[in-house]
Structure 1
Amino acid sequence: MASDVHAAPLVGRADTVAMVRAALLDRVPQDQTAAVFVNGESGVGKSRLLGEVAAGLRDAGAVVLTGSCLDIGDASPLHPLLQALRRFEAEASHARTCSAVRSLLNMFADETPGREGAGTLLERVSRGLHLIAQGRPLVLVLDDLQWVDRSTRQLLLYLLAGLGDMQLSVLAAIRSEALQGAHPLRRVLTELRRLRSVRVLDLAPLDRAATRQLATAIVGRPLAPEATEQVWRRSGGNPFVVEELARDLRDGRDGLSDTLREIFLDRVEALPPHAHEVVQAVAVGVEPVEHDLLARVVRLPEERLIEAAHAAIAHRLLVCVDNAYHLRHRLVAEVLDHELLPAERAALHRRYADALGAEPAQLHHARSAHHWRLAGEPVRALRAAMAAAEEAERLHGYAEAHRHWSLVLDAATDTGLGAPERVTLLEKAAEAAHHCGEHARALALLEEQAALAGTATCALHIRRARYLAHAGRSALAEAEYQRALDAPDCTPGQRATAAAHLAELLLHLGRYAEAGRRAREALARSASVEGSTSEVVLASAALGFSEAYLEDPDAGLPVMREALATAERSGRPEDVALAYLHLAELLTGPLNVIEEGVVVARRGAERVTELGLGRTFETRLLAVAANGLFRVGQWAEAEKVIADALRHRPSGADAAELLLARCRLSVAYGDVEAADRDLEAVATLLAGGGARHVLPLLTLRAGLAMWQGRHDEARQAVARGLTETRSDDLVLLATLAWHGLRAEAEAYASRTGRVDLTAVRRLRQVTNRVRRTSVQAARPVRDVVDAFLALCTAEVGRLDGPGDPVLWARAAEVWDRRRHPYPAAYSRLRQAEALLARRGRDATAATLLREAYEVAQGLGARPLSEEIAALATRARVPVPEPTAERDGDRAGTGGGVHDELSALTPREREVLALVAEGLTNREIGQRLFISERTIGVHVSHIFDKLQVRTRVQASAIHLRHRPR
């Protein structure tokens, strides 16, 4: 099974080639021998590897003799050596070398079998090879060594035992499935392994990445992830099979090629009868097939079963891991599927299902459902699928549960299930979809359930509200909770549930006082309802947050911590997640206990992952951690946290939280395109969102607009936040007001726009109201609000002139105490600006500029750095140039980005990585929450900067410089 070496690139073998070369040449002392025997299944690339190594050794000055063994036994003694000598004679140009080769060939031609002993012959061959080498390293390359004749085996032992007097290396390839039973080469290898200079290398198949690279190169275009995954699964990483499958894809051929079918049929038919039966059973089963299960299916005596499994493994058709069997190539299952009669196939599936059902303690319900369905037993398949879904839920595998419930719904159609039973199934499927982050799917299933039920019950309103809240439709969710509370069929327990969930929602809407009132209502109702642990947890968390924010952290925080402890004792995943979430939000946000908050958020993320809520609550908790890290200036770490969370591909409000966290970094980094993209995505996701999302969204939009000099756009964003959003969150309001006053001050300073006096008057009213209200807030909240109000006061001073350096110094001091480096650096910039405008304290201004510039550069805050550098230039204050190392770190590559990729922006590198995965523009847009048209612009820029014309060429550059 050899591939065309000129048709496809050699991938995934660079390290192996280098290692073999070093073992044969670089590390072999003068007059010493070495050998590498490459062992592997057919098609794994042994011959290609031998050719690549031989070419490199030849270029390095070695004499390379290349030959192949034939499957004719001992009929042609020393055939591979003779073949190698003839090839070398045809290629050799040096006269002395040609003469030595001809002398050795003549010796073989004149040799009469049996005329002299084997030792004499081997000695003469050794002398002849010494003459050919002429002091240079000699490498003997032998392919298909499994067919080696006796004379060549003796020659190898003679030469590698050091009986020759030259620097000799042997490189040979062995087809592993051919070494069966008492094959003579097995004894030779056993002898040779004892030599320190001999290495036996097992050549493994390609990994997923190399398989994708090889298939992409052959097809000539990036493949969709589904296509590359299918190639990987079907081929098992065997390069020859990958090439065949990729050519089928390229040429539009469906099914299995005749070449591959015949190759694998030959390999299967070469098996002993019982081994053939074992492979056929494993092919029908769901891998891995445990040994005990296989024994109950094939029904062979234990000794014969083990013997048959050994034979299948030796023929490289099965792999045994942890006492369970896998097919080495899924293609074997496709080949054998056509060899079975339908009745045979159904009988095997029935035997599997019976065997799995014999031990219910093992809980193989999903596999049983699969086998019953293919055995033609839909009712038994339905029961098993329901058991599988319930088992997945018990183990917190909600994505798996959602998949099983969806299969149950499909199977129920075939079994004629009645409407009441289907309503129950829809309810279970919707809840599983909600837990695994498929909020839109959950709402769709819920609507189908409501249509079948015919009436909107209180329980239905509560569930719809929960799903709407997680989908980012907060306003609709609030209205739905109110409908639940007003519903005539609402029981006391359901009223407690609705009130507790509504209190939790009001926290996300930023209406903390109302959340506290609803939480107290829920707790009062729960007191008379048995088993209302979940309601108590949710209401306690909301009440603790409200009290800690509005009154006293020392009173509120213990309530929240007790809510977390109660949730852990109850074990309900969503309760645990919400308790962690609200505690982390409070600590990293208004209370400004950021280090502890980040620890709580990360610990909570690990915990909820264990509970199966990775796509939903882990994403939110990691967003909270990233926001905390941003505030304390650990931006690189925040980027890593966000990247870790994005692997879940969240949706709805979960995605909005993460995108807002990423947008904060993009705005501060000055990555306008990325920030615009995230803001657009959040606005789409949060139609009807609450203040906790909308106010940060508008604040970021205003900040981005200011860096671009679009002061009117910044003004409009702030105005929307102040007039359209209702919130008790004083920190969010103070932040928004600062951005509004800053926009007016920037407009005045730029001389490109006029100050909107009406907007300034409204903003000053807002800051005064926030100041008055904050007096009643908890002290930590008041401290953070005061820090933003200090910025507001200083910005007002810029509206009438250069600003007051004293006010900016006060703001810098406040932010230093809070350990927030970014606003502190901004305040120092403005303080220096005000000092320089007053023509005084130039030395102090220079110091402030250098300090601010150092902080901004360390953070990677490019727009702030550029503004500081511009002012320093005007004031003739030297500041250090930005280093390439910092630029590399900002690129998110950990430094060391190759010149080919350094021209790309971080977002373009992100898009290029997905292009290399084979995703289309539409798929990339869905992954990154960008429009397909915007992705097209990104790809066009990438092509221009990399000077390529196709996606394949761009992907090749990415793969070449990808971190290993």
Structure 2
Amino acid sequence: MASDVDTAPLVGRADQLAALRSALLDDVAQGHTAAVFLTGESGVGKTRLLAEVSARLRDAGALVLTGTCLDIGDASPLHPLRQALRRFDTELTAAQARTSSAVRGLLQVFDDETPGPDGAGALLERVSRGLHLVAGGRPLVIVLDDLQWVDRSTRQLLLYLLAGLGDLQLSVLAAIRAEALQGAHPLRRVLTELRRLRSVRVVDLAPLDRADTDRLAAAVVGRPLNPEAAELVWQRSGGNPFVAEELARDLREGRDGLSDTLREIFLARVDALPQHAHAVVHAVAAGVEPVEHWLLAQVVRLPEEELIEAVRAAVAHRLLVGADEGYRLRHRLVAEVLAHELLPAERSALHRRYAEALTSATAELHQARLAHHWRLAGEPARALPAAMAAAREAERLHGYAEAHRHWSAALQLADAPAAVPPEPDRATPVEVDRAELLEHAAEAAHHCGEHARALALLEELAGDPAGPPACALHIRRARYLAAAGRSAPAEAEYRRALAAADCTARERATAAAHLAELLLHLGRYAEAGEQAREALQLAATVEGSTSEVVLASAALGFSEAFLEDPDAGLAVMREAVEIAERSGRPEDVACAYLHLAELLTGPLNILEEGVVVARRGAERVAELGLGRTWETRLLAIATNGLFRVGQWSEAEKVVAAALRHRPSGADAVELLLARCRLSVGYGDIEASDRDLEAVATVLAGGGARHVLPMLILRAGLAMWQGRHDLARQAVQRGLTESRSDDVIVLATLAWHGLRAEAEAHASRTVAVDEMAVRRLREVVDRVARKSEHAGRPVRYIVDGFLALCAAELSRLDGRGDPELWARSAAEWDRRNHPYPAAYSRLRQAEALLARRSRVATAGKLLRQAYQMAQGLGALPLSSEIRTLAGRARVTLEERPAPAGGPPVPAPRRPAAAPPTEPTVDELAVLTAREREVLAAVAEGLTNKEIGQRLFISERTIGVHVSHIFDKLQVRTRVQASAIFLRNRGEQS
């Protein structure tokens, strides 16, 4: 950042300023989101650029909330947003009482929020609703500095809002230190995924080039530097604006004998301060920024007037920045330099003063901050209770990553010897059970995804004499191993738990139920069923074991379904629903309905009943207060079932009702994917893109099980857009990243891949990838082999997709096999899936027409397919059917049926002598340039070759071709060429 905002100009950033304003405000429509993440090394000017962009956005009428993430990793959840709201509240006038009330109401949400049945998602939704009130219809921009230190809760909130779930015109501008994103930093993976999205820009802010560095140094000095001085500034700074400014300022002020290192520059500046200002800078450097004025006063212990004069001197020397919320160093490099200049006793004394001041304060106590200072003061006994309180505070707000960090710190503090001998007047430290700390730390690590850490802590707990008994440890270790994807050792641990002598009846039931579920995920359905039966027997002897019964029943039901006994599976699941209803525990009721609905709409393929159960279960769990989580999951199942049976309009109503709950996380992803399936079918490209962008945004924070459905939809959408290369990329990524044994999903993915290659072959716009085809053939063979061992309902669905795959392969091998497409249509008719049935009829007709045989049959197939597609509202499919019918001179509309007879097609006009001119010029809609391009396309030239002939860029040719396709209502170059040749022949 620039070190003197008042005098140093902003050099070399004009283009970025304009681009950022446009990206964050001008290009963001109502209800949409955008984000820009600025990355770069320390001192490159990120903070200064944030300030400049914020000012321009405010001038343009946007509401800008600015916050900073704390740099010690001990921030409470959602700290930067709290800070931004408090800062904004102080700026409001009496005339803005309504906005002030909304701000304070939102701040109260953070203080009052307690875990509820809907979990952390409820807090995110309440925050989003509060921001909507604060914005008051204005565009909202959240500006966050030092995002590399962001807490997990704030990161989740940003992903939630950027996914468009908050119904705001929202933009996010954040700065990140690039050097902090090393190794397994959680933000690194998030940024990698977000870079894929069109609504998100990650701008790597580079250092200034030589010319701009010279300009900046000259502006600071007040005159152009001589070549030797300019070269010195350039060599020392490397274009870093902050360092360049500091070096140039030294030149201006005639400082001699300074080293070329930043350490010496900062030390020289600190040494030049008055005595009290020197103490102030050291105190702020040891604090957690921003350091409030009252807190600084208690740490430096100066009279008020002397303290203010000392702060003024530090600000004048450009070492401190003062704001309403407190003081901060102009650059954190100052703290890094000064940290080595204090004696250990001096540093401990400063941190002790901070801790004592925070302890005695009557204002809100930040336990994480207090623990930080007591720890660095060398008093772990006092830091420990604060660290534990900070962990519980984080858990209250579902900040499990922060809770894990605090519990881990508490463990270290419990083991640390005091650096300072206890004084006689100090209170005796509270005794802490170390085994309890280990349990809390392990569970928090498990919840926040740190599975290796959870397992390590559990091993340590196992060696503690005060730890839990062996059986409880085995169960917990198995849960952690399963979550980490280590299924084999997890299974072994569950079996050890069942064999442990100290295992209680409840623990045996719990271990057996979880083991049954694990075996189910591993595809060992027979073993899963046996284990589930054992779990049910054990649970029957334990009072209040409803959760175990529901879990085991789910495994048993699916096991029976896969082993060709669907009636038995259904009976078990329905009994589980009855047991859950009798117990009245909301989550058990919800879980039972969810599994039953999944069973019906999944392996059993009893779609209509599955939809009914899902909707009935959704109503029931809404009554129990679980509307935002379990109800939305059940409605997502209902939406997908309605889509598959062809009731698209009803599915649209269901998903719209569910999204009104504004779900978050996986619940939101399920619904967005369900809505996207409808949008892809309808041909609403903009809505489909928007939903896929939102899904990708949420999945940036994790959620691998939804990646394959997302990629399948991305491939389907790309094919309707004629982007067969993008469809291929999506399918290949799915095959590479997939670790799923779900043969239905794999079969669906394989069909999309083969369809993309067949479309590419037909259009001749993209070459067929033979390696991709070979890989897809292998996947089809593997799916066929695996499905042989699945239950009849599963084989039933897989066989339908295998029929589609075989037919698509015939398109690649030649002109398509009508018999294979007829078989596919029949397969999907039997399954009551109208969409793939209509698609198969289209391809069957296409294959017949290509062979110039059975034209009447082809016409009948096209009319059937068209009627089905129109009934669904599938516009892209209907358009392709119309295109083929037009080329084949097939009339799609039928005239009324004669009494007692079937409907007959409208008669074609009798053949007449060829007219001298065409009745309609199909090329009249094209411009002169587009006709030139189409003529070259008809010659078989590529876009590159056409560009060379017409002296136009290849990219422009691509735009012309897209316009031609749209105007002629065709999807392939072959179809467009046929129209051109026919019309040219008619006009010659």
TM-score tier (shorter): 0.5 to 0.7
> For residue 813 of structure 1, what is the amino acid of its counterpart?
Q
2:205 to 210, 213, 225: 213
Q: Does structure 2 conserve the Cα–Cα contact (< 8 Å) formed by 1:475 and 1:690?
A: no
Residue matched to 2:368: 366
Residue matched to 1:429: 444
Q: Does 1:535 align with 2:588?
A: yes
1:736 to 801, 807, 810: 801
CA apart distance, 1:662: 3.0
Taking the aligned partners of 1:622 and 1:241, their CA distance within structure 2 comes to: 47
Equivalent residue of 2:448, what SS?
Answer: helix
Partner deviation per Cα, 1:290-322 (whole Å, 9 max, x = no partner): 344434434445555455444444443333444
1:265 to 264, 267, 272: 267
Q: Residues 239 and 463 from structure 1, CA distance in 2 versus in 1: closer, same or farther, beyond 3 angstroms?
A: closer
1:635 to 668, 681, 685: 685
Taking the aligned partners of 1:469 and 1:858, their CA distance within structure 2 comes to: 51
Taking the aligned partners of 1:496 and 1:848, their CA distance within structure 2 comes to: 68
Q: Does 1:498 align with 2:551?
A: yes
> For residue 448 of structure 2, what is the amino acid of its counterpart?
A
Partner deviation per Cα, 1:828-876 (whole Å, 9 max, x = no partner): 343345448999889999989999x999988999993334324434544
Note the 1:145-164 alignment, pairs <5 A: none
Residue matched to 1:12: 13
Q: Does structure 1 conserve the Cα–Cα contact (< 8 Å) formed by 2:883 and 2:970?
A: no
Residue matched to 1:701: 753
Q: Residues 528 and 816 from structure 1, CA distance in 2 versus in 1: closer, same or farther, beyond 3 angstroms?
A: closer
Residue matched to 2:327: 325
Q: Residues 293 and 820 from structure 1, CA distance in 2 versus in 1: closer, same or farther, beyond 3 angstroms?
A: farther
Taking the aligned partners of 1:290 and 1:861, their CA distance within structure 2 comes to: 68
Q: Does 1:771 align with 2:821?
A: no
Residue matched to 1:658: 710
CA apart distance, 1:329: 0.9
Residue matched to 1:746: 811
Equivalent residue of 2:663, what SS?
Answer: helix
Equivalent residue of 1:700, what SS?
Answer: helix
Equivalent residue of 2:756, what SS?
Answer: helix
Q: Does structure 2 conserve the Cα–Cα contact (< 8 Å) formed by 1:584 and 1:598?
A: yes
Q: Does 1:526 align with 2:580?
A: yes
Q: Residues 665 and 318 from structure 1, CA distance in 2 versus in 1: closer, same or farther, beyond 3 angstroms?
A: farther
Q: Residues 273 and 439 from structure 1, CA distance in 2 versus in 1: closer, same or farther, beyond 3 angstroms?
A: same
Q: Does structure 1 conserve the Cα–Cα contact (< 8 Å) formed by 2:280 and 2:311?
A: yes
Equivalent residue of 1:289, what SS?
Answer: coil
Residue matched to 1:690: 742
Residue matched to 1:944: none
CA apart distance, 1:395: 1.4
Equivalent residue of 2:705, what SS?
Answer: helix
Partner deviation per Cα, 1:525-568 (whole Å, 9 max, x = no partner): 334546x321212222344566686335784354243255257x
Taking the aligned partners of 1:537 and 1:383, their CA distance within structure 2 comes to: 38
Q: Residues 629 and 554 from structure 1, CA distance in 2 versus in 1: closer, same or farther, beyond 3 angstroms?
A: closer
Residue matched to 1:825: 879
Q: Does structure 1 conserve the Cα–Cα contact (< 8 Å) formed by 2:355 and 2:373?
A: yes
Equivalent residue of 1:325, what SS?
Answer: strand
TM, length-normalised to structure 1: 0.53
Q: Does structure 2 conserve the Cα–Cα contact (< 8 Å) formed by 1:598 and 1:628?
A: no
Q: What is the aligned residue count?
A: 641
Equivalent residue of 2:327, what SS?
Answer: strand
CA apart distance, 1:333: 0.9
> For residue 495 of structure 1, what is the amino acid of its counterpart?
E
Note the 1:892-907 alignment, pairs <5 A: none
1:550 to 582, 589, 607: 607
> For residue 431 of structure 1, what is the amino acid of its counterpart?
H
Q: Does structure 1 conserve the Cα–Cα contact (< 8 Å) formed by 2:673 and 2:709?
A: yes
Partner deviation per Cα, 1:376-414 (whole Å, 9 max, x = no partner): 344655554444333223213344445545656777786
**Pairwise CA RMSD:** 5.9
**Amino-acid identity (%):** 31
Deviates more, 1:855-864 or 1:319-328: 855-864
> For residue 320 of structure 2, what is the amino acid of its counterpart?
L
Residue matched to 2:972: 865
TM, length-normalised to structure 2: 0.52
Taking the aligned partners of 2:829 and 2:285, their CA distance within structure 1 comes to: 72
Equivalent residue of 1:288, what SS?
Answer: coil
Q: Residues 845 and 740 from structure 1, CA distance in 2 versus in 1: closer, same or farther, beyond 3 angstroms?
A: farther
Deviates more, 1:695-704 or 1:372-381: 372-381
Partner deviation per Cα, 1:553-604 (whole Å, 9 max, x = no partner): 784354243255257x259x86476456545545666542454456457556
Equivalent residue of 2:318, what SS?
Answer: coil
Note the 1:12-161 alignment, pairs <5 A: 12-13=13-14
Taking the aligned partners of 1:467 and 1:859, their CA distance within structure 2 comes to: 49
> For residue 746 of structure 1, what is the amino acid of its counterpart?
R
> For residue 650 of structure 1, what is the amino acid of its counterpart?
G
Q: Does structure 2 conserve the Cα–Cα contact (< 8 Å) formed by 1:601 and 1:621?
A: yes
Taking the aligned partners of 2:374 and 2:363, their CA distance within structure 1 comes to: 18
Taking the aligned partners of 2:875 and 2:668, their CA distance within structure 1 comes to: 27
CA apart distance, 1:814: 1.9
Residue matched to 1:476: 521
Note the 1:453-472 alignment, pairs <5 A: 455=471
Taking the aligned partners of 2:456 and 2:878, their CA distance within structure 1 comes to: 48
Taking the aligned partners of 2:321 and 2:562, their CA distance within structure 1 comes to: 55
Q: Does structure 1 conserve the Cα–Cα contact (< 8 Å) formed by 2:680 and 2:688?
A: yes
Taking the aligned partners of 2:202 and 2:570, their CA distance within structure 1 comes to: 56
Q: Does structure 1 conserve the Cα–Cα contact (< 8 Å) formed by 2:633 and 2:670?
A: no
Q: Does structure 2 conserve the Cα–Cα contact (< 8 Å) formed by 1:735 and 1:788?
A: no
> For residue 653 of structure 1, what is the amino acid of its counterpart?
R
Q: Does structure 1 conserve the Cα–Cα contact (< 8 Å) formed by 2:968 and 2:976?
A: no
CA apart distance, 1:820: 1.8
Residue matched to 2:860: 806
Taking the aligned partners of 1:621 and 1:510, their CA distance within structure 2 comes to: 30
Q: Residues 644 and 211 from structure 1, CA distance in 2 versus in 1: closer, same or farther, beyond 3 angstroms?
A: closer
Q: Residues 206 and 546 from structure 1, CA distance in 2 versus in 1: closer, same or farther, beyond 3 angstroms?
A: closer
Q: Does 1:351 align with 2:353?
A: yes
CA radius of gyration, larger in:
1
CA apart distance, 1:421: 4.3
Q: Residues 867 and 522 from structure 1, CA distance in 2 versus in 1: closer, same or farther, beyond 3 angstroms?
A: farther
Residue matched to 2:217: none
Taking the aligned partners of 1:481 and 1:342, their CA distance within structure 2 comes to: 61
1:297 to 289, 296, 299: 299
Residue matched to 1:389: 391
Equivalent residue of 1:687, what SS?
Answer: coil
CA apart distance, 1:330: 0.7
Q: Residues 812 and 765 from structure 1, CA distance in 2 versus in 1: closer, same or farther, beyond 3 angstroms?
A: closer
Taking the aligned partners of 2:10 and 2:985, their CA distance within structure 1 comes to: 52
> For residue 214 of structure 1, what is the amino acid of its counterpart?
A
> For residue 429 of structure 1, what is the amino acid of its counterpart?
A
Taking the aligned partners of 1:594 and 1:856, their CA distance within structure 2 comes to: 33
Taking the aligned partners of 1:678 and 1:311, their CA distance within structure 2 comes to: 60
Gaps of 5+ in 1: 19-41, 46-204, 221-234, 246-255, 775-781, 880-964
Taking the aligned partners of 1:555 and 1:484, their CA distance within structure 2 comes to: 26
Q: Does 1:607 align with 2:622?
A: no
Taking the aligned partners of 1:239 and 1:685, their CA distance within structure 2 comes to: 42
Taking the aligned partners of 1:431 and 1:658, their CA distance within structure 2 comes to: 27
Taking the aligned partners of 2:919 and 2:435, their CA distance within structure 1 comes to: 78
Partner deviation per Cα, 1:442-475 (whole Å, 9 max, x = no partner): 7898899899975575676667666759999996
Q: Residues 13 and 450 from structure 1, CA distance in 2 versus in 1: closer, same or farther, beyond 3 angstroms?
A: same
> For residue 607 of structure 1, what is the amino acid of its counterpart?
P
Q: Residues 451 and 562 from structure 1, CA distance in 2 versus in 1: closer, same or farther, beyond 3 angstroms?
A: farther
Partner deviation per Cα, 1:775-819 (whole Å, 9 max, x = no partner): xxxxxxx55565456557647756975560221132123213322
Q: Does 1:562 align with 2:605?
A: no
Taking the aligned partners of 2:557 and 2:396, their CA distance within structure 1 comes to: 25
